[in-house]
Structure 1
């Protein structure tokens, strides 16, 4: 394939999903961009013990540069090494040096370099700026060539445009069929309903409602809770706590129980149009997914046919009590067909290229320049 774009990407982590919900999203997008001929260098800090909890080695589809989380010298060197890239991306929620990076990547912008802010948690970013009109990021928004978001639909687009964004385009989560797919059932994950999600302040009350209430209403059924931070939380006797579930085990966790549950964070439900990664991971594994209700779900999966939708924990319990194995299998297989047809990261990579103005003619032009050089 002819030459693609050189992309410098400053994010939380590509190689570790530990306290890093965006890892699967980054991997899917970047692997798909690489498959289309683009070269990505991913800069990530050695922070939050993520390097100690790596779940993949440095991948062949991206160059990974890990820099210290203390002092600014190393991150400044990374910024300088990114100079001259075709595209420089600053993702939200790096966790360290966020304010520095948000400002400094704009220094790399030029006639041949586009600078992108990629918001992987737009609801949190927008809420932060709403509460603090003096947030320094507000003044930077109009200077970015593009704002891309993990989700949010038209409400997020309009919110960013009101803050001066030149353009804002949601690049939704998707499926990477090479990493999330059906596998054999595993004894560790046998149960009736599984939920996987870290314990976060704007999620805990909804987990209490949609998951723990359902467990209390169905004491004879078996529930599985995975994710970090729940160890000291009192749980019903029919809920088994799994702790952190590493990415390689996600397929078995999705394939083994009768159904899996998606619970959106409170901030994400306010904006809607934000399917979590677990929605596509579950669909890719042909799991039967029960999700809380959020605006825009029908854009991705058809309620009642490809996904089951509940408005509260009692609704989850009712759906689960009526769901037999054959129904669960049919729903999971229908969801898998839908996401393979419309919602893979290959589809998203094409969308990113369109936003960046990377056309077939541009690819040919870069390839010709490389041959001349």
Structure 2
């Protein structure tokens, strides 16, 4: 089949600001890699939650960014502009007018335009609709040409298909080698263990278990906490809370500590196969990663060789107590080699491209 380059309209939270927007680096990696394959992406994002006041990048040359006012009228105007695209993507968690967008994008579905729902937080979405049979999205799921997810593996695929999805495919997050890579360490980020994550209800108890408690239990070790929302959280004196960490500091934040910690949100851990974007970013910087346990870790990294796994806060404390600089560097190097060989956004974009072309071909054959 002769394949044309695709024109993709993408409705998401934000491409240019990571402020209260954990999906930003995921969007950037996917969109940049699609551009590298020759496809065109227009990213529509609302001016909401002070994200535009806290941008951490200018408009890129690998996507067209359209920032619209947070009004229904502006959202409808963007939908009309997106109507000529080959693919229209509605991502979850835009933050404003999600129900409107979920419903209205389907008006533009036709023989020449595929409409895709891209769920960047499938566990939360699935929990929501299972708890509320009146949720509008339940009726919409079977209408989308496909559902893509940020992760979740077979449990999420089966859950979406049980709700009527025509097709559900995880496009796992990955490493963007143009933005995350080894750099020289910086003294301001020096510590034994660092964790970066915004304070969220679905994460807080696990942060207490896997980070705050181990810090309190090992007063001779130094810890660093980055992310928004933790300023009034009680924590031991050996934790240095530094607030929001802009993406241009992520490499140094990952490279400098002896180890960095990944803590899954509760729902992500429950479904499994949902490595946080920061796992790949840290691996791309050559960091030694300690992660809480979740099903599917070995699908991405080999435990004890490329990543360290803790099933409790006590295990985090034990790992930190015994972790030498030599072992940390060896694990970080192994993780770096693995992520470059199998888990970059170029790998993910190639998977997505093939998926879309296959779907387009099937649609055309059905019409023939």
TM-score (norm 1): 0.95
Look up the match of 1:27.
Answer: 28
**RMSD between aligned residues:** 1.4
Look up the match of 2:18.
Answer: 17
Separation in structure 2 between the aligned mates of residue 193 and residue 270 of structure 1, nearest angstrom = 24
Contact 1:12 1:93 in 2 (8 A): yes
Where do 1:226-241 residues align within 5 Å? 226-241=226-241
Contact 1:45 1:67 in 2 (8 A): yes
Look up the match of 1:192.
Answer: 192
Separation in structure 1 between the aligned mates of residue 38 and residue 5 of structure 2, nearest angstrom = 5
Look up the match of 2:309.
Answer: 309
Cα deviation code 1:110-148 (max 9, x no counterpart): 111100000000000000001101100000000000100
Look up the match of 1:38.
Answer: 39
Separation in structure 1 between the aligned mates of residue 151 and residue 14 of structure 2, nearest angstrom = 19
Q: CA deviation at 1:358?
A: 5.6
Runs of 4+ off more than 2 Å: none
Q: CA deviation at 1:268?
A: 0.7
Separation in structure 2 between the aligned mates of residue 83 and residue 266 of structure 1, nearest angstrom = 37
Q: CA deviation at 1:354?
A: 1.7
3-state DSSP class of the match of 1:356? helix
Cα deviation code 1:155-206 (max 9, x no counterpart): 0000000000000000001001110000000111010000000000111110
Q: CA deviation at 1:88?
A: 0.2
3-state DSSP class of the match of 1:354? helix
Separation in structure 2 between the aligned mates of residue 216 and residue 81 of structure 1, nearest angstrom = 54
Separation in structure 1 between the aligned mates of residue 144 and residue 202 of structure 2, nearest angstrom = 29
Contact 1:8 1:87 in 2 (8 A): yes
Separation in structure 1 between the aligned mates of residue 108 and residue 67 of structure 2, nearest angstrom = 20
Look up the match of 1:72.
Answer: 72
Contact 1:3 1:37 in 2 (8 A): no
Separation in structure 2 between the aligned mates of residue 270 and residue 313 of structure 1, nearest angstrom = 17
Cα deviation code 1:232-282 (max 9, x no counterpart): 111100000010000000000000000000000001111000000110011
Separation in structure 2 between the aligned mates of residue 108 and residue 355 of structure 1, nearest angstrom = 20
Q: CA deviation at 1:3?
A: 5.1
3-state DSSP class of the match of 1:65? strand
Separation in structure 2 between the aligned mates of residue 48 and residue 98 of structure 1, nearest angstrom = 14
Separation in structure 2 between the aligned mates of residue 22 and residue 202 of structure 1, nearest angstrom = 16
Q: CA deviation at 1:220?
A: 0.7
| 2:207 matches 1:202 | no
| 2:149 matches 1:116 | no
Separation in structure 1 between the aligned mates of residue 218 and residue 270 of structure 2, nearest angstrom = 29
Separation in structure 2 between the aligned mates of residue 317 and residue 135 of structure 1, nearest angstrom = 42
Look up the match of 2:50.
Answer: 49
Cα deviation code 1:306-355 (max 9, x no counterpart): 00000011100101111111100000000010010000000000111122
Q: CA deviation at 1:72?
A: 1.4
Q: Unaligned regions of 5+ residues in structure 1, if any?
A: 363-373
Cα deviation code 1:198-233 (max 9, x no counterpart): 000111110001001110111011000000000011
Separation in structure 1 between the aligned mates of residue 78 and residue 53 of structure 2, nearest angstrom = 22
Contact 1:25 1:173 in 2 (8 A): yes
Q: CA deviation at 1:74?
A: 1.0
Separation in structure 2 between the aligned mates of residue 358 and residue 163 of structure 1, nearest angstrom = 23
3-state DSSP class of the match of 1:202? coil
